[in-house]
């Protein structure tokens, strides 16, 4: 083949964006959480530093994050939008992106409802912290997808914001509360979680679905409201509940 012919020959993968390990990790994480805001994506991407430089816990540059988000958009893996003029945008995974991480038969690609973004942000903040503590996280979205696949008339029971597992604590339901609710409403949700049971197939008897419930709230005022709700469920339940303040839950 002549040199001119070689120059005219176009590589089959020219212009094709190839997914990296970092891409797959971040897209899977965002898909599980419904969506993620710019600075949360920055924290995710920072877990995969430049291989030529040691990682010392610093965040990667915002310009790098913008470039990578733009790359994902060009590949058709995500949509990205700013919902408020004075705040960062959110990314969510498209059908093409879901197919890339083999979740297109599990989740439906759709933009998040703007009314849910503050709660999505808050739950993401809890997960970002828990990831680093070694907790195994099952998202609400994953649990709801399982719920939709059960037979008609069956139910998986109450679905918390997340379910985590660890060697030290076992199985824990996670609830994130960022806005005040009536103590009676919170108490009802808590009672449903604490009363839920499931069949242990190895021991062939029912056991608690959520032995522990951990609430995460943004401030002391919210903590007092949730604790007031906990008092309504009875003393025998209160030993299974923890309420913790995490100040970064509000965007």
> pLDDT, tens digit, for every residue of 148-161?
655 555 556 789 99
Segments of the chain with pLDDT less than 50: 6-8, 10-11, 201-202, 204
pLDDT at 10: 47
What whole-number distance in Å separates Cα of residue 184 and Cα of residue 169?
A: 28
3-state secondary structure of 166: strand
pLDDT at 87: 84
pTM: 0.87
pLDDT digits (tens, 9 = 90+) for 186-201: 999 999 999 887 655 4
Residue 242 backbone phi and psi in degrees, to 5: -130, 140
CA distance 197 to 158: 10
pLDDT of residue 208: 83
Interstrand relation of 136-139 and 205-208 (parallel, antiparallel or unpaired):
unpaired
CA 237 to chain centre: 27
User: What are the structural domains, with CATH classification, of the chain?
Assistant: 14-112 (1.10.10.10), 116-251 (no CATH)
Whether residue 240 contacts residue 212, with contact meaning beta carbons closer than 8 Å, is answered with yes
Positive or negative: CA dihedral 156, 161, 167, 168: negative
Would you state the pLDDT for residue 56?
Answer: 61
Q: Which of 186, 194, 209 is nearest to 241 (CA)?
A: 194
Residues 229, 243: Cα–Cα separation, whole Å: 11
Q: How many helices (H) and strands (E) does the chain have?
A: 10, 10
């Amino acid at each position: 083949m002549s040199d001119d012919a070689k120059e005219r020959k176009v590589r089959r993968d020219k212009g094709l964006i190839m997914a990296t390990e970092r891409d797959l990790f971040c897209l899977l994480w965002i898909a599980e959480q419904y969506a993620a805001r710019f600075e949360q994506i920055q924290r995710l991407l920072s877990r995969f530093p430049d291989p030529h430089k040691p990682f010392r816990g610093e965040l990667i540059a915002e310009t790098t994050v913008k470039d990578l988000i733009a790359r994902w958009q060009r590949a058709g893996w995500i949509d990205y939008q700013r919902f408020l003029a004075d705040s960062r945008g959110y990314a969510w995974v498209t059908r093409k992106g879901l197919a890339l991480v083999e979740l297109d038969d599990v989740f439906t690609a759709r933009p998040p409802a703007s009314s849910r973004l503050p709660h999505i942000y808050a739950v993401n903040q809890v997960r970002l912290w828990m990831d680093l503590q070694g907790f195994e996280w099952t998202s609400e979205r994953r649990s709801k997808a399982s719920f939709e696949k059960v037979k008609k008339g069956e139910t998986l029971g109450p679905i918390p914001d997340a379910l985590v597992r660890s060697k030290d604590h076992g199985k824990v339901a996670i609830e994130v509360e960022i806005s005040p609710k009536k103590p009676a409403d919170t108490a009802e949700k808590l009672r449903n979680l604490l009363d839920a049971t499931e069949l242990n197939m190895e021991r062939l008897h029912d056991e608690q679905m959520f032995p522990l419930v951990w609430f995460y709230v943004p401030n002391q005022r919210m903590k007092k409201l949730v604790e007031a709700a906990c008092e309504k469920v009875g003393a025998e339940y209160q030993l299974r509940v923890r309420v913790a303040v995490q100040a970064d839950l509000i965007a």
